[in-house]
């Protein structure tokens, strides 16, 4: 039979010397200080300190005995120590929980601090995969309008790490467009991931070759790997407007010639005619007067059409209405199938 580990006072904050002396006194409470010192193999000074330690911990009590102390009944003494340790542990756990609860506010303050510094930092280097992923997650969380992505053969581990961030930004109404290197479509798992994103509003197209991994947030800054062969080693954050503008121009040129990877499902409730055109112009940021001039109708007619779109989508603001229309597929530009189901576009295989 394997013996169970014996109780040790070190588990409740006492020294190993105190534990040894306490056990000796339990068996022989009539020991003198000199006897206890010799039996425990401790100096007289150390033995005296140990006796004081046991007394302060409530394991000994004053009595008419050679040592001046006798042991308290172990069940009473040790249970008292265990209860004290449990109280301290509960207080510690409560403090840690409170600290964790403060993280959201601290992260918000951190983001605001970064925003103050960002205009002064036109370029920034991020090192280490964990740091890069944390930065991208924060950037996606703070994005307001659109995230553009050029995707090379990213590992499935990387895609799974990005899943909550990708789906979270789409759920908030942030538009997403992704260019995928055709070589990345050889893996069915990757195709399934892009298909799942497409189903909730992401627009994905394939090109024969993606020149580099790249993300552009709200056309304000871009993130690129320093080394294309090792994207986890380091990344550069670019905020210089001329460079970001050039990268955005490159993306749009590739996007215009790319083949849609998935086509949206047919929406029987999608607006048509003038309402559809009003929605498209609204998504472009046009004002009511500008929309009215483009369509040759009165401003009141445009406002009525906008109000009907907001009601149909259950939104109260124009920005939210456009975001909801994107999620529902009303603003999709890719062609529909006759059957009306979301299917992979066969043209993507032409680039494989």
Position with higher pLDDT, 282 vs 231: 282
Res 110: pLDDT: 77
Burial class of residue 299, CB neighbours in 10 A (0-12, 13-18, 19+): middle
Distance CA 166, CA 27 (A): 67
pLDDT band at 71 (very low <50, low <70, confident <90, very high): very high
Q: Which residues, in sequence order, are CB contacts of 250 under 8 Å at separation 6+?
A: 211
Fold match, 9-96 / 273-331: yes
**Mean of the per-residue pLDDT values of the chain:** 81
Q: Which two tokens stand for residue 123?
A: 């370029």
User: What are φ and ψ of residue 72, in 5° steps?
Assistant: -80, 150
pLDDT band at 6 (very low <50, low <70, confident <90, very high): low
Per-domain residue ranges for the chain?
Answer: 9-96, 107-263, 273-331
- CB half-sphere exposure, 155, CA atoms < 13 A: 8
pLDDT over 70 (residue 122): yes
Global pTM?
0.45
pLDDT over 90 (residue 215): yes
Architecture of the domain whose range is 9-96:
Orthogonal Bundle (1.10)
CATH no., domain 273-331: 1.10.10.10
Distance CA 202, CA 318 (A): 20
Angle between helices 74-101 and 103-117 (to 10 degrees): 30
> What pLDDT digit, counting tens, does each position of 306-347 carry?
999 998 888 889 888 888 888 777 875 443 333 333 333 433
Please, are residues 34 and 45 in contact by the beta-carbon 8 Å criterion? no
pLDDT over 70 (residue 241): yes
Please, are residues 181 and 351 in contact by the beta-carbon 8 Å criterion? no
CA angle 173, 177, 181 (to 5 degrees): 150
Burial class of residue 352, CB neighbours in 10 A (0-12, 13-18, 19+): exposed
Distance CA 249, CA 253 (A): 6
pLDDT band at 117 (very low <50, low <70, confident <90, very high): low
User: Three-state DSSP class for 216?
Assistant: strand
Q: Which two tokens stand for residue 1?
A: 């039979």
Helix (H) or strand (E) holding 202, with range, is none
Please, are residues 17 and 41 in contact by the beta-carbon 8 Å criterion? no
Distance CA 348, CA 224 (A): 25
Distance CA 172, CA 114 (A): 22
Res 322: pLDDT: 86
Let me know if domain 107-263 sits in CATH 1.10.1370.30: no
Please, are residues 264 and 255 in contact by the beta-carbon 8 Å criterion? no
């Amino acid at each position: 039979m394997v013996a169970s580990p014996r109780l040790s006072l070190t588990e409740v904050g006492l020294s190993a010397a105190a534990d040894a002396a306490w056990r000796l006194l339990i068996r022989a409470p009539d020991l003198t200080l000199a006897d206890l010192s010799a039996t425990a193999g401790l100096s007289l000074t150390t033995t005296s300190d140990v006796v004081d330690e046991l007394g302060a911990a409530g394991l000994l009590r004053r009595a008419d005995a050679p040592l001046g102390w006798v042991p308290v009944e172990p069940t009473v003494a040790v249970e008292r120590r265990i209860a004290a340790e449990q109280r301290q542990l509960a207080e510690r756990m409560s403090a840690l929980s409170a600290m964790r609860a403060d993280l959201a506010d601290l992260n918000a303050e951190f983001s605001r601090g970064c925003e103050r510094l960002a205009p002064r930092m036109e370029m920034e280097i991020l090192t280490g995969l964990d740091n890069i992923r944390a930065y991208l997650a924060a950037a996606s969380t703070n994005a307001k309008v659109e995230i553009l992505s050029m995707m090379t053969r990213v590992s499935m581990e990387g895609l799974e790490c990005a899943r909550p961030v990708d789906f979270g930004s789409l759920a908030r109404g942030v538009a997403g467009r992704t260019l995928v290197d055709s070589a990345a479509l050889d893996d069915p798992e990757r195709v399934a991931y892009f298909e799942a994103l497409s189903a909730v509003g992401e627009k994905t197209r394939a090109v024969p070759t993606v020149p580099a991994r790249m993300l552009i947030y709200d056309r304000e800054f871009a993130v690129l790997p320093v080394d294309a062969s090792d994207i986890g080693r380091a990344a550069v954050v670019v905020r210089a407007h001329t460079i970001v503008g050039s990268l955005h121009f490159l993306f749009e040129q590739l996007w215009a010639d790319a083949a849609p990877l998935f086509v949206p499902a047919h929406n029987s409730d999608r607006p048509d005619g003038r309402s559809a055109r009003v929605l498209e112009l609204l998504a472009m940021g046009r004002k009511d007067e500008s929309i009215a001039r483009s369509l040759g109708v009165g401003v009141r007619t445009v406002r009525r059409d906008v109000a009907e779109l907001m009601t149909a989508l259950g939104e109260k603001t124009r920005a939210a209405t456009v975001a909801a229309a994107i999620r529902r597929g009303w603003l999709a530009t890719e062609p529909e199938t006759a059957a009306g189901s979301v299917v992979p576009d066969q043209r993507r295989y032409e680039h494989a």
